[in-house]
Structure 1
Amino acid sequence: MTTFALRPPEGAPPRPSTARRASRRHRSWREALEGWGFVAPALVIVLGLTVFPGVWAFLLSFQKWDGFSDPISVGTGNYRDMIADPELQGAVAHTAIYTVLFVPASVLLGLFLAVALNRRIRFIGLYRTAIFVPFVASAAATGILTTYLFSPQFGLINNVLRVVGLPEQGWLEDRHEAMVVITIMSLWGQAAFTTVIYLAALQDVPGDVVEAARIDGANSWQIFWRVVWPQLAPVTVFVGIYQTLQAIQLFDLVYTTTRGGPLEATQTIVYYLWKVAFQNLQFGYGSAVAYGLFFVTLLVTIAVAVYSRKSGREAF
Protein backbone atom coordinates (compact mmCIF):
# COMPACT_ATOMS: atom_id res chain seq x y z
CA MET A 1 0.00 0.00 0.00
CA THR A 2 1.37 3.39 -0.95
CA THR A 3 0.99 6.35 1.45
CA PHE A 4 1.04 9.97 0.46
CA ALA A 5 2.08 12.88 2.71
CA LEU A 6 -0.41 15.73 2.74
CA ARG A 7 1.16 19.00 1.81
CA PRO A 8 -0.33 22.41 2.52
CA PRO A 9 -1.61 24.20 -0.58
CA GLU A 10 0.63 26.63 -2.32
CA GLY A 11 0.64 30.05 -0.61
CA ALA A 12 -0.96 28.82 2.64
CA PRO A 13 0.82 29.93 5.87
CA PRO A 14 2.62 27.11 7.62
CA ARG A 15 0.87 25.66 10.64
CA PRO A 16 2.57 26.71 13.86
CA SER A 17 4.31 23.96 15.68
CA THR A 18 3.19 22.72 19.08
CA ALA A 19 6.16 24.37 20.74
CA ARG A 20 5.36 27.70 19.10
CA ARG A 21 1.71 27.54 20.24
CA ALA A 22 2.83 26.73 23.76
CA SER A 23 5.21 29.67 23.67
CA ARG A 24 2.48 32.04 22.57
CA ARG A 25 0.14 30.74 25.26
CA HIS A 26 2.86 31.16 27.87
CA ARG A 27 3.53 34.71 26.69
CA SER A 28 -0.17 35.63 26.83
CA TRP A 29 -0.44 34.26 30.37
CA ARG A 30 2.66 36.18 31.39
CA GLU A 31 1.32 39.43 29.93
CA ALA A 32 -2.00 38.89 31.72
CA LEU A 33 -0.24 38.30 35.02
CA GLU A 34 1.91 41.37 34.50
CA GLY A 35 -1.20 43.45 33.80
CA TRP A 36 -2.97 42.17 36.91
CA GLY A 37 0.22 42.79 38.86
CA PHE A 38 0.09 46.48 37.95
CA VAL A 39 -3.65 46.73 38.62
CA ALA A 40 -3.75 44.65 41.82
CA PRO A 41 -2.54 47.32 44.32
CA ALA A 42 -5.10 49.88 43.18
CA LEU A 43 -7.78 47.18 42.97
CA VAL A 44 -7.10 46.09 46.53
CA ILE A 45 -7.33 49.69 47.75
CA VAL A 46 -10.58 50.34 45.88
CA LEU A 47 -12.19 47.13 47.06
CA GLY A 48 -10.94 47.72 50.58
CA LEU A 49 -12.45 51.21 50.68
CA THR A 50 -15.77 50.33 49.00
CA VAL A 51 -16.82 46.69 49.04
CA PHE A 52 -15.57 45.72 52.49
CA PRO A 53 -16.97 48.79 54.32
CA GLY A 54 -20.23 48.44 52.41
CA VAL A 55 -20.70 44.81 53.39
CA TRP A 56 -19.67 45.51 56.97
CA ALA A 57 -22.08 48.47 57.23
CA PHE A 58 -24.89 46.32 55.87
CA LEU A 59 -24.26 43.70 58.55
CA LEU A 60 -24.03 46.42 61.22
CA SER A 61 -27.42 47.80 60.17
CA PHE A 62 -29.00 44.70 61.74
CA GLN A 63 -27.09 45.09 64.99
CA LYS A 64 -26.74 47.42 67.94
CA TRP A 65 -23.09 48.33 68.50
CA ASP A 66 -21.28 51.21 70.16
CA GLY A 67 -17.82 50.32 68.87
CA PHE A 68 -16.58 48.83 72.16
CA SER A 69 -18.98 46.26 73.56
CA ASP A 70 -20.12 43.12 71.78
CA PRO A 71 -22.69 43.76 69.02
CA ILE A 72 -26.29 42.76 69.72
CA SER A 73 -28.47 41.50 66.88
CA VAL A 74 -31.71 43.48 66.59
CA GLY A 75 -32.93 42.23 63.21
CA THR A 76 -34.80 44.98 61.39
CA GLY A 77 -35.21 47.02 64.57
CA ASN A 78 -32.94 49.81 63.34
CA TYR A 79 -34.96 50.19 60.16
CA ARG A 80 -38.21 50.27 62.15
CA ASP A 81 -36.78 52.93 64.44
CA MET A 82 -35.95 55.08 61.41
CA ILE A 83 -39.62 55.39 60.50
CA ALA A 84 -40.58 56.81 63.91
CA ASP A 85 -37.48 58.99 64.44
CA PRO A 86 -38.63 62.65 64.50
CA GLU A 87 -35.08 64.00 64.26
CA LEU A 88 -34.45 61.93 61.14
CA GLN A 89 -37.73 63.16 59.67
CA GLY A 90 -36.59 66.73 60.26
CA ALA A 91 -33.26 65.99 58.56
CA VAL A 92 -35.12 64.50 55.58
CA ALA A 93 -37.30 67.63 55.35
CA HIS A 94 -34.26 69.94 55.50
CA THR A 95 -32.51 67.89 52.82
CA ALA A 96 -35.60 68.02 50.62
CA ILE A 97 -35.81 71.81 51.00
CA TYR A 98 -32.16 72.18 50.12
CA THR A 99 -32.55 69.89 47.09
CA VAL A 100 -35.55 71.87 45.81
CA LEU A 101 -33.61 75.12 46.18
CA PHE A 102 -30.26 73.91 44.91
CA VAL A 103 -30.89 71.62 41.92
CA PRO A 104 -33.02 73.93 39.68
CA ALA A 105 -30.87 76.93 40.58
CA SER A 106 -27.62 75.10 39.78
CA VAL A 107 -28.96 73.84 36.45
CA LEU A 108 -30.30 77.24 35.37
CA LEU A 109 -27.22 79.13 36.56
CA GLY A 110 -24.90 76.67 34.86
CA LEU A 111 -26.85 76.93 31.61
CA PHE A 112 -26.83 80.74 31.76
CA LEU A 113 -23.09 80.91 32.40
CA ALA A 114 -22.36 78.34 29.68
CA VAL A 115 -24.33 80.31 27.11
CA ALA A 116 -22.54 83.49 28.19
CA LEU A 117 -19.12 81.83 27.88
CA ASN A 118 -19.83 80.07 24.61
CA ARG A 119 -18.57 82.87 22.43
CA ARG A 120 -15.35 84.21 21.01
CA ILE A 121 -14.30 87.23 23.02
CA ARG A 122 -11.04 88.44 24.46
CA PHE A 123 -9.78 86.68 27.58
CA ILE A 124 -12.47 84.00 27.28
CA GLY A 125 -10.03 81.41 28.66
CA LEU A 126 -9.51 83.56 31.75
CA TYR A 127 -13.25 83.90 32.31
CA ARG A 128 -13.81 80.16 31.99
CA THR A 129 -11.00 79.44 34.43
CA ALA A 130 -12.39 81.94 36.93
CA ILE A 131 -15.79 80.27 36.77
CA PHE A 132 -14.29 76.84 37.46
CA VAL A 133 -12.00 77.85 40.34
CA PRO A 134 -14.71 77.69 43.08
CA PHE A 135 -15.44 74.06 42.12
CA VAL A 136 -11.96 72.92 43.14
CA ALA A 137 -11.92 74.93 46.36
CA SER A 138 -12.01 72.83 49.52
CA ALA A 139 -15.08 72.64 51.73
CA ALA A 140 -13.08 74.15 54.59
CA ALA A 141 -12.18 77.21 52.50
CA THR A 142 -15.79 77.58 51.34
CA GLY A 143 -17.01 77.30 54.94
CA ILE A 144 -14.58 79.96 56.16
CA LEU A 145 -15.63 82.25 53.31
CA THR A 146 -19.30 81.66 54.13
CA THR A 147 -18.75 82.52 57.78
CA TYR A 148 -16.87 85.67 56.83
CA LEU A 149 -19.51 86.86 54.38
CA PHE A 150 -22.67 86.02 56.32
CA SER A 151 -21.67 86.51 59.95
CA PRO A 152 -24.40 88.66 61.61
CA GLN A 153 -21.84 90.58 63.69
CA PHE A 154 -18.91 91.29 61.36
CA GLY A 155 -19.91 89.76 58.02
CA LEU A 156 -19.37 91.62 54.78
CA ILE A 157 -22.98 91.27 53.65
CA ASN A 158 -24.41 92.89 56.79
CA ASN A 159 -21.82 95.67 56.55
CA VAL A 160 -23.02 96.43 53.04
CA LEU A 161 -26.65 96.39 54.20
CA ARG A 162 -25.74 98.72 57.05
CA VAL A 163 -24.08 101.18 54.68
CA VAL A 164 -27.02 101.32 52.25
CA GLY A 165 -29.52 101.67 55.09
CA LEU A 166 -31.18 98.27 54.88
CA PRO A 167 -31.96 96.11 57.93
CA GLU A 168 -29.33 93.59 58.92
CA GLN A 169 -30.12 89.87 58.73
CA GLY A 170 -29.36 86.94 61.00
CA TRP A 171 -28.15 84.77 58.11
CA LEU A 172 -26.43 81.69 59.56
CA GLU A 173 -27.88 82.36 63.01
CA ASP A 174 -31.46 82.62 61.75
CA ARG A 175 -33.20 79.25 61.34
CA HIS A 176 -35.28 80.63 58.47
CA GLU A 177 -32.32 81.99 56.52
CA ALA A 178 -29.50 79.55 57.26
CA MET A 179 -30.50 76.99 54.63
CA VAL A 180 -30.76 79.76 52.02
CA VAL A 181 -27.19 80.80 52.83
CA ILE A 182 -26.01 77.18 52.53
CA THR A 183 -27.73 76.97 49.14
CA ILE A 184 -26.10 80.17 47.91
CA MET A 185 -22.63 79.02 48.87
CA SER A 186 -23.26 75.60 47.35
CA LEU A 187 -24.21 77.31 44.11
CA TRP A 188 -20.99 79.32 44.25
CA GLY A 189 -19.02 76.09 44.22
CA GLN A 190 -21.17 73.61 42.31
CA ALA A 191 -22.53 75.76 39.48
CA ALA A 192 -19.08 75.57 37.88
CA PHE A 193 -19.62 71.85 37.24
CA THR A 194 -22.89 72.37 35.37
CA THR A 195 -21.31 75.26 33.49
CA VAL A 196 -18.48 73.07 32.19
CA ILE A 197 -20.88 70.26 31.20
CA TYR A 198 -23.25 72.63 29.38
CA LEU A 199 -20.36 74.45 27.73
CA ALA A 200 -19.05 71.18 26.30
CA ALA A 201 -22.55 70.27 25.09
CA LEU A 202 -23.05 73.68 23.46
CA GLN A 203 -19.82 73.31 21.53
CA ASP A 204 -21.06 69.97 20.18
CA VAL A 205 -24.22 71.49 18.68
CA PRO A 206 -23.84 71.35 14.86
CA GLY A 207 -23.01 74.80 13.57
CA ASP A 208 -24.63 74.20 10.19
CA VAL A 209 -28.01 73.54 11.84
CA VAL A 210 -27.79 76.80 13.77
CA GLU A 211 -26.73 78.65 10.62
CA ALA A 212 -29.63 77.14 8.65
CA ALA A 213 -32.08 78.30 11.30
CA ARG A 214 -30.58 81.79 11.21
CA ILE A 215 -30.88 81.91 7.40
CA ASP A 216 -34.53 80.86 7.70
CA GLY A 217 -35.17 83.98 9.78
CA ALA A 218 -35.10 82.61 13.33
CA ASN A 219 -34.00 85.04 16.02
CA SER A 220 -31.59 84.22 18.84
CA TRP A 221 -34.30 83.06 21.25
CA GLN A 222 -35.97 80.86 18.64
CA ILE A 223 -32.62 79.33 17.69
CA PHE A 224 -31.88 78.50 21.31
CA TRP A 225 -35.35 77.16 22.18
CA ARG A 226 -36.04 75.25 18.94
CA VAL A 227 -32.55 74.13 17.90
CA VAL A 228 -30.08 74.25 20.78
CA TRP A 229 -32.26 73.25 23.75
CA PRO A 230 -33.40 69.89 22.28
CA GLN A 231 -29.72 69.02 21.86
CA LEU A 232 -29.14 69.76 25.55
CA ALA A 233 -31.99 67.63 26.90
CA PRO A 234 -29.87 64.49 27.61
CA VAL A 235 -27.21 66.63 29.27
CA THR A 236 -29.88 68.28 31.43
CA VAL A 237 -31.08 64.86 32.61
CA PHE A 238 -27.54 63.88 33.56
CA VAL A 239 -26.83 67.17 35.33
CA GLY A 240 -30.16 67.00 37.17
CA ILE A 241 -29.47 63.48 38.46
CA TYR A 242 -25.89 64.32 39.44
CA GLN A 243 -26.81 67.51 41.26
CA THR A 244 -29.69 65.77 43.04
CA LEU A 245 -27.30 63.13 44.34
CA GLN A 246 -24.90 65.86 45.45
CA ALA A 247 -27.72 67.69 47.23
CA ILE A 248 -28.89 64.57 49.08
CA GLN A 249 -25.32 63.93 50.25
CA LEU A 250 -24.71 67.46 51.55
CA PHE A 251 -22.42 67.33 54.58
CA ASP A 252 -19.13 69.21 54.30
CA LEU A 253 -20.52 72.74 54.01
CA VAL A 254 -22.93 72.18 56.90
CA TYR A 255 -20.13 70.71 59.01
CA THR A 256 -17.79 73.66 58.40
CA THR A 257 -20.39 76.38 59.00
CA THR A 258 -23.47 75.69 61.13
CA ARG A 259 -22.91 72.13 62.47
CA GLY A 260 -26.59 71.51 61.78
CA GLY A 261 -27.84 74.64 63.57
CA PRO A 262 -29.37 76.91 64.45
CA LEU A 263 -31.94 74.70 66.23
CA GLU A 264 -31.11 71.89 63.76
CA ALA A 265 -32.46 73.99 60.87
CA THR A 266 -29.62 72.91 58.57
CA GLN A 267 -29.23 69.35 59.79
CA THR A 268 -29.25 67.18 56.66
CA ILE A 269 -29.51 63.41 56.39
CA VAL A 270 -25.77 62.82 56.02
CA TYR A 271 -24.94 65.19 58.87
CA TYR A 272 -27.50 63.41 61.07
CA LEU A 273 -25.96 60.08 60.05
CA TRP A 274 -22.51 61.34 61.04
CA LYS A 275 -23.78 62.65 64.37
CA VAL A 276 -25.57 59.42 65.24
CA ALA A 277 -22.64 57.19 64.30
CA PHE A 278 -19.58 59.17 65.40
CA GLN A 279 -20.92 61.35 68.20
CA ASN A 280 -23.57 59.12 69.75
CA LEU A 281 -21.65 55.92 68.85
CA GLN A 282 -24.76 54.24 67.44
CA PHE A 283 -22.97 52.54 64.59
CA GLY A 284 -25.74 50.04 63.87
CA TYR A 285 -28.44 52.68 63.61
CA GLY A 286 -26.14 54.95 61.60
CA SER A 287 -25.49 52.11 59.15
CA ALA A 288 -29.23 51.57 58.79
CA VAL A 289 -29.71 55.28 58.00
CA ALA A 290 -26.89 55.08 55.45
CA TYR A 291 -28.47 52.12 53.68
CA GLY A 292 -31.88 53.74 53.79
CA LEU A 293 -30.39 56.76 52.05
CA PHE A 294 -28.63 54.49 49.56
CA PHE A 295 -31.82 52.68 48.55
CA VAL A 296 -33.79 55.91 48.24
CA THR A 297 -31.18 57.52 45.97
CA LEU A 298 -30.93 54.31 43.94
CA LEU A 299 -34.69 54.20 43.37
CA VAL A 300 -34.80 57.89 42.44
CA THR A 301 -31.93 57.47 39.96
CA ILE A 302 -33.49 54.40 38.34
CA ALA A 303 -36.90 56.11 38.07
CA VAL A 304 -35.45 59.23 36.45
CA ALA A 305 -33.27 57.17 34.09
CA VAL A 306 -36.22 54.98 32.99
CA TYR A 307 -38.45 58.01 32.46
CA SER A 308 -35.78 59.84 30.46
CA ARG A 309 -35.25 56.82 28.20
CA LYS A 310 -38.95 56.41 27.57
CA SER A 311 -39.23 60.10 26.70
CA GLY A 312 -36.21 59.88 24.35
CA ARG A 313 -33.94 62.02 26.52
CA GLU A 314 -31.68 59.34 27.94
CA ALA A 315 -28.39 60.49 29.36
CA PHE A 316 -26.82 57.09 30.05
Structure 2
Amino acid sequence: MSPSVLIILGLSIVPVVWSLLLSFRADDLVTPGRWVGLDNYRALVRDPGFRTAVENTLVYAGLYVPLSLVGGLVLALALNRRIRLIGLYRTLIFVPFVISAAAQGVLFFFILDPQFGVANSLLHHLGVSRQGFLSDPGQALYLLVAISLWSGVGFCVVVYLAALQDVPQELIESARLDGANRLRVLWHIKLPSLTPVTVFLLLWELITALQVFDLIYVTTKGGPLGSTTVIVYFVWEQAFQMFTAGYGAAAAYVLAAALLVAGAALRLYRRRRPGAAPDGAVR
Protein backbone atom coordinates (compact mmCIF):
# COMPACT_ATOMS: atom_id res chain seq x y z
CA MET A 1 0.00 0.00 0.00
CA SER A 2 1.48 3.34 -1.07
CA PRO A 3 2.20 6.14 1.46
CA SER A 4 -0.37 8.42 -0.19
CA VAL A 5 -3.12 5.83 0.32
CA LEU A 6 -2.10 5.42 3.96
CA ILE A 7 -2.27 9.18 4.46
CA ILE A 8 -5.75 9.36 2.92
CA LEU A 9 -6.93 6.45 5.06
CA GLY A 10 -5.37 7.86 8.21
CA LEU A 11 -6.58 11.44 7.83
CA SER A 12 -10.01 11.01 6.27
CA ILE A 13 -11.60 7.59 5.90
CA VAL A 14 -10.60 6.06 9.24
CA PRO A 15 -11.73 9.07 11.36
CA VAL A 16 -15.04 9.21 9.48
CA VAL A 17 -15.76 5.52 10.06
CA TRP A 18 -14.55 5.64 13.67
CA SER A 19 -16.69 8.67 14.55
CA LEU A 20 -19.72 7.11 12.83
CA LEU A 21 -19.35 3.98 14.95
CA LEU A 22 -18.81 6.20 18.00
CA SER A 23 -22.19 7.84 17.41
CA PHE A 24 -23.84 4.47 18.13
CA ARG A 25 -22.05 4.06 21.45
CA ALA A 26 -22.18 5.50 24.95
CA ASP A 27 -18.52 6.43 25.26
CA ASP A 28 -16.52 8.99 27.25
CA LEU A 29 -13.24 8.06 25.47
CA VAL A 30 -11.73 7.03 28.82
CA THR A 31 -13.65 4.07 30.18
CA PRO A 32 -14.87 1.17 28.03
CA GLY A 33 -17.97 2.20 26.09
CA ARG A 34 -21.04 0.20 25.18
CA TRP A 35 -23.19 -0.15 22.07
CA VAL A 36 -26.49 1.75 22.33
CA GLY A 37 -27.64 1.69 18.71
CA LEU A 38 -29.81 4.66 17.79
CA ASP A 39 -30.32 5.81 21.38
CA ASN A 40 -28.03 8.82 20.91
CA TYR A 41 -30.03 9.98 17.90
CA ARG A 42 -33.33 9.45 19.71
CA ALA A 43 -32.02 11.48 22.63
CA LEU A 44 -31.10 14.33 20.28
CA VAL A 45 -34.70 14.58 19.11
CA ARG A 46 -35.85 15.06 22.71
CA ASP A 47 -32.98 17.32 23.82
CA PRO A 48 -34.09 20.98 24.15
CA GLY A 49 -30.44 22.05 24.18
CA PHE A 50 -29.87 20.49 20.77
CA ARG A 51 -33.06 22.06 19.42
CA THR A 52 -31.82 25.44 20.61
CA ALA A 53 -28.47 24.83 18.91
CA VAL A 54 -30.23 23.92 15.66
CA GLU A 55 -32.42 27.03 15.85
CA ASN A 56 -29.41 29.26 16.52
CA THR A 57 -27.52 27.67 13.64
CA LEU A 58 -30.43 28.22 11.25
CA VAL A 59 -30.81 31.86 12.32
CA TYR A 60 -27.07 32.43 11.94
CA ALA A 61 -26.91 30.76 8.52
CA GLY A 62 -30.18 32.37 7.39
CA LEU A 63 -28.73 35.82 8.01
CA TYR A 64 -25.07 35.28 7.18
CA VAL A 65 -25.38 33.46 3.85
CA PRO A 66 -27.69 35.85 1.93
CA LEU A 67 -26.11 38.97 3.43
CA SER A 68 -22.59 37.84 2.55
CA LEU A 69 -23.62 37.08 -1.05
CA VAL A 70 -25.59 40.28 -1.55
CA GLY A 71 -22.94 42.40 0.16
CA GLY A 72 -20.17 40.74 -1.84
CA LEU A 73 -22.01 41.25 -5.13
CA VAL A 74 -22.79 44.91 -4.44
CA LEU A 75 -19.21 45.69 -3.44
CA ALA A 76 -17.81 43.72 -6.39
CA LEU A 77 -19.97 45.69 -8.82
CA ALA A 78 -18.85 48.93 -7.16
CA LEU A 79 -15.18 47.92 -7.36
CA ASN A 80 -15.36 46.59 -10.93
CA ARG A 81 -14.38 49.89 -12.47
CA ARG A 82 -11.33 52.01 -13.15
CA ILE A 83 -11.01 54.64 -10.43
CA ARG A 84 -8.14 56.03 -8.42
CA LEU A 85 -6.74 53.74 -5.72
CA ILE A 86 -9.00 50.88 -6.81
CA GLY A 87 -6.26 48.38 -5.90
CA LEU A 88 -6.13 49.78 -2.37
CA TYR A 89 -9.90 49.56 -1.97
CA ARG A 90 -9.94 45.94 -3.14
CA THR A 91 -7.13 45.05 -0.74
CA LEU A 92 -8.85 46.70 2.21
CA ILE A 93 -12.04 44.77 1.48
CA PHE A 94 -10.17 41.45 1.39
CA VAL A 95 -7.85 41.96 4.39
CA PRO A 96 -10.43 40.98 7.06
CA PHE A 97 -10.88 37.60 5.34
CA VAL A 98 -7.26 36.60 5.97
CA ILE A 99 -7.53 37.42 9.69
CA SER A 100 -8.30 34.29 11.68
CA ALA A 101 -11.69 34.01 13.33
CA ALA A 102 -9.99 33.70 16.72
CA ALA A 103 -8.17 37.00 16.19
CA GLN A 104 -11.40 38.64 15.03
CA GLY A 105 -13.14 37.34 18.12
CA VAL A 106 -10.52 38.78 20.46
CA LEU A 107 -10.63 42.13 18.65
CA PHE A 108 -14.40 42.50 18.78
CA PHE A 109 -14.61 41.07 22.29
CA PHE A 110 -12.67 44.10 23.53
CA ILE A 111 -14.48 46.55 21.25
CA LEU A 112 -17.89 45.31 22.42
CA ASP A 113 -17.03 44.86 26.09
CA PRO A 114 -20.06 46.22 28.04
CA GLN A 115 -17.93 47.97 30.65
CA PHE A 116 -14.75 49.14 28.96
CA GLY A 117 -15.35 48.66 25.23
CA VAL A 118 -14.96 51.36 22.60
CA ALA A 119 -18.48 50.79 21.27
CA ASN A 120 -20.23 51.71 24.52
CA SER A 121 -17.88 54.65 24.98
CA LEU A 122 -18.96 56.04 21.60
CA LEU A 123 -22.62 55.42 22.39
CA HIS A 124 -22.22 57.26 25.70
CA HIS A 125 -20.82 60.33 23.91
CA LEU A 126 -23.77 60.19 21.51
CA GLY A 127 -26.22 60.13 24.39
CA VAL A 128 -27.26 56.51 23.83
CA SER A 129 -27.60 54.16 26.78
CA ARG A 130 -25.03 51.41 27.25
CA GLN A 131 -25.67 48.13 25.49
CA GLY A 132 -24.98 44.59 26.63
CA PHE A 133 -23.73 43.53 23.20
CA LEU A 134 -22.22 40.03 23.49
CA SER A 135 -23.53 39.66 27.06
CA ASP A 136 -27.12 40.36 25.96
CA PRO A 137 -29.03 37.21 24.86
CA GLY A 138 -31.09 39.32 22.46
CA GLN A 139 -28.08 40.86 20.71
CA ALA A 140 -25.23 38.36 20.87
CA LEU A 141 -26.11 36.09 17.95
CA TYR A 142 -26.83 38.99 15.60
CA LEU A 143 -23.55 40.65 16.53
CA LEU A 144 -21.71 37.42 15.73
CA VAL A 145 -23.36 37.46 12.31
CA ALA A 146 -22.15 41.04 11.81
CA ILE A 147 -18.60 40.12 12.88
CA SER A 148 -18.60 37.18 10.47
CA LEU A 149 -19.83 39.40 7.65
CA TRP A 150 -16.93 41.78 8.27
CA SER A 151 -14.60 39.06 7.03
CA GLY A 152 -16.85 36.81 4.95
CA VAL A 153 -17.99 39.49 2.53
CA GLY A 154 -14.39 40.02 1.40
CA PHE A 155 -14.14 36.49 0.04
CA CYS A 156 -17.36 36.91 -1.95
CA VAL A 157 -16.09 40.22 -3.33
CA VAL A 158 -12.88 38.64 -4.65
CA VAL A 159 -14.72 35.70 -6.26
CA TYR A 160 -17.36 37.94 -7.84
CA LEU A 161 -14.70 40.35 -9.10
CA ALA A 162 -12.86 37.50 -10.80
CA ALA A 163 -16.12 36.32 -12.39
CA LEU A 164 -17.01 39.82 -13.57
CA GLN A 165 -13.73 39.97 -15.48
CA ASP A 166 -14.93 36.99 -17.53
CA VAL A 167 -18.22 38.57 -18.58
CA PRO A 168 -17.87 39.19 -22.36
CA GLN A 169 -17.46 42.91 -22.91
CA GLU A 170 -18.83 42.51 -26.43
CA LEU A 171 -22.23 41.56 -25.01
CA ILE A 172 -22.25 44.57 -22.71
CA GLU A 173 -21.24 46.97 -25.47
CA SER A 174 -23.84 45.51 -27.85
CA ALA A 175 -26.55 45.86 -25.23
CA ARG A 176 -25.61 49.49 -24.60
CA LEU A 177 -25.67 50.21 -28.33
CA ASP A 178 -29.19 48.78 -28.36
CA GLY A 179 -30.19 51.26 -25.67
CA ALA A 180 -29.92 49.09 -22.55
CA ASN A 181 -29.20 51.05 -19.37
CA ARG A 182 -26.98 49.85 -16.53
CA LEU A 183 -29.81 48.12 -14.71
CA ARG A 184 -30.80 46.11 -17.79
CA VAL A 185 -27.18 45.18 -18.47
CA LEU A 186 -26.86 44.01 -14.88
CA TRP A 187 -30.11 42.05 -14.91
CA HIS A 188 -29.89 40.44 -18.36
CA ILE A 189 -26.14 39.97 -18.85
CA LYS A 190 -24.05 40.19 -15.69
CA LEU A 191 -26.27 38.37 -13.20
CA PRO A 192 -26.95 35.37 -15.49
CA SER A 193 -23.20 35.12 -16.14
CA LEU A 194 -22.58 35.06 -12.38
CA THR A 195 -25.03 32.23 -11.66
CA PRO A 196 -22.42 29.40 -11.47
CA VAL A 197 -20.24 31.50 -9.18
CA THR A 198 -23.24 32.37 -7.03
CA VAL A 199 -24.12 28.69 -6.61
CA PHE A 200 -20.52 27.97 -5.56
CA LEU A 201 -20.51 30.85 -3.09
CA LEU A 202 -23.90 29.82 -1.74
CA LEU A 203 -22.59 26.35 -0.92
CA TRP A 204 -19.28 27.70 0.41
CA GLU A 205 -20.89 30.26 2.71
CA LEU A 206 -23.54 27.77 3.85
CA ILE A 207 -20.84 25.30 4.89
CA THR A 208 -18.95 28.13 6.60
CA ALA A 209 -22.07 29.19 8.50
CA LEU A 210 -23.03 25.68 9.59
CA GLN A 211 -19.49 24.99 10.83
CA VAL A 212 -18.94 28.21 12.80
CA PHE A 213 -17.15 27.49 16.07
CA ASP A 214 -13.94 29.39 16.79
CA LEU A 215 -15.55 32.85 16.76
CA ILE A 216 -18.18 31.69 19.25
CA TYR A 217 -15.61 29.91 21.42
CA VAL A 218 -13.48 33.05 21.70
CA THR A 219 -16.30 35.54 22.28
CA THR A 220 -19.34 34.05 24.01
CA LYS A 221 -18.64 30.35 24.64
CA GLY A 222 -22.21 29.61 23.65
CA GLY A 223 -23.74 32.15 26.02
CA PRO A 224 -25.35 34.13 27.35
CA LEU A 225 -27.99 31.59 28.37
CA GLY A 226 -27.22 29.42 25.35
CA SER A 227 -28.26 32.15 22.91
CA THR A 228 -25.18 31.59 20.71
CA THR A 229 -24.78 27.82 21.09
CA VAL A 230 -24.68 26.42 17.56
CA ILE A 231 -24.43 22.79 16.48
CA VAL A 232 -20.63 22.61 16.25
CA TYR A 233 -20.24 24.25 19.66
CA PHE A 234 -22.86 21.82 21.02
CA VAL A 235 -20.80 18.91 19.65
CA TRP A 236 -17.62 20.23 21.27
CA GLU A 237 -19.43 20.83 24.56
CA GLN A 238 -20.85 17.33 24.67
CA ALA A 239 -17.58 15.64 23.73
CA PHE A 240 -15.03 17.63 25.72
CA GLN A 241 -16.95 19.20 28.59
CA MET A 242 -19.72 16.70 29.31
CA PHE A 243 -17.54 13.75 28.18
CA THR A 244 -20.40 12.17 26.23
CA ALA A 245 -18.39 11.64 23.06
CA GLY A 246 -20.89 9.25 21.49
CA TYR A 247 -23.70 11.75 21.92
CA GLY A 248 -21.53 14.52 20.46
CA ALA A 249 -20.63 12.31 17.50
CA ALA A 250 -24.33 11.73 16.81
CA ALA A 251 -24.93 15.48 16.77
CA ALA A 252 -21.97 15.89 14.42
CA TYR A 253 -23.46 13.39 11.98
CA VAL A 254 -26.78 15.20 12.01
CA LEU A 255 -24.84 18.29 10.88
CA ALA A 256 -22.94 16.23 8.29
CA ALA A 257 -26.23 14.94 6.90
CA ALA A 258 -27.54 18.50 6.61
CA LEU A 259 -24.40 19.53 4.72
CA LEU A 260 -24.72 16.57 2.35
CA VAL A 261 -28.36 17.39 1.64
CA ALA A 262 -27.51 21.04 0.97
CA GLY A 263 -24.64 20.09 -1.31
CA ALA A 264 -26.72 17.54 -3.20
CA ALA A 265 -29.56 20.03 -3.66
CA LEU A 266 -27.24 22.67 -5.11
CA ARG A 267 -25.58 20.10 -7.35
CA LEU A 268 -28.99 18.98 -8.61
CA TYR A 269 -29.94 22.60 -9.25
CA ARG A 270 -26.81 23.17 -11.32
CA ARG A 271 -27.45 20.06 -13.41
CA ARG A 272 -31.07 20.97 -14.09
CA ARG A 273 -30.45 24.65 -14.73
CA PRO A 274 -31.08 25.54 -18.40
CA GLY A 275 -27.80 25.81 -20.29
CA ALA A 276 -25.77 24.09 -17.59
CA ALA A 277 -22.81 22.07 -18.77
CA PRO A 278 -22.63 18.36 -17.91
CA ASP A 279 -20.37 17.36 -15.03
CA GLY A 280 -16.76 17.47 -16.10
CA ALA A 281 -17.50 19.48 -19.24
CA VAL A 282 -15.72 22.73 -19.98
CA ARG A 283 -17.89 25.66 -20.93
Q: Secondary structure of 2:161's match?
A: helix
C-alpha deviation, 1:46, in angstroms: 4.1
Match of 1:65 in 2: 27
Q: Secondary structure of 2:194's match?
A: helix
User: TM-score normalised to the size of structure 1?
Assistant: 0.84
**Residue 269 (1) aligns with residue 231 (2):** yes
* Range with greater deviation from structure 2 (46-55 or 83-92): 46-55
% identical equivalent positions: 46
C-alpha deviation, 1:194, in angstroms: 0.8
Residue of 171, 174, 198 corresponding to 2:133: 171
Regions of 4+ moved over 6 Å: none
Distance 1:60 1:314 in 2: 40
Match of 1:246 in 2: 208
Match of 1:29 in 2: none
Contact 1:305 1:314 in 2 (8 A): no
Structure 2: gaps (5+ residues): none
Distance 1:178 1:305 in 2: 34
**Residue 129 (1) aligns with residue 91 (2):** yes
Alignment map for 1:28-67 (pairs within 5 Å): 40=3, 44-67=6-29
Larger Rg: 1
Query: Measured at CA, do residues 126 and 45 of structure 1 come closer, stay the same or move farther in structure 2, by a change above 3 Å?
Result: farther
Higher relative contact order (CA 8 A, sep 6+): 2
User: TM-score normalised to the size of structure 2?
Assistant: 0.93
**Residue 91 (1) aligns with residue 53 (2):** yes
Distance 2:276 2:213 in 1: 29
Match of 1:22 in 2: none
C-alpha deviation, 1:123, in angstroms: 2.4
**Residue 236 (1) aligns with residue 236 (2):** no
Distance 2:85 2:242 in 1: 52
Distance 2:216 2:274 in 1: 37
Compute the RMSD of aligned alpha carbons: 1.7
C-alpha deviation, 1:121, in angstroms: 2.0
Distance 2:54 2:10 in 1: 30
Which residue identity lines up with residue 103 of structure 1 in the other structure? V
Match of 2:174 in 1: 212
C-alpha deviation, 1:49, in angstroms: 2.0
* Range with greater deviation from structure 2 (299-308 or 216-225): 299-308
Residue of 141, 146, 152 corresponding to 2:103: 141
**Residue 187 (1) aligns with residue 153 (2):** no
C-alpha deviation, 1:314, in angstroms: 5.5
Which residue identity lines up with residue 39 of structure 2 in the other structure? G
Contact 1:233 1:313 in 2 (8 A): no
Alignment map for 1:94-133 (pairs within 5 Å): 94-133=56-95
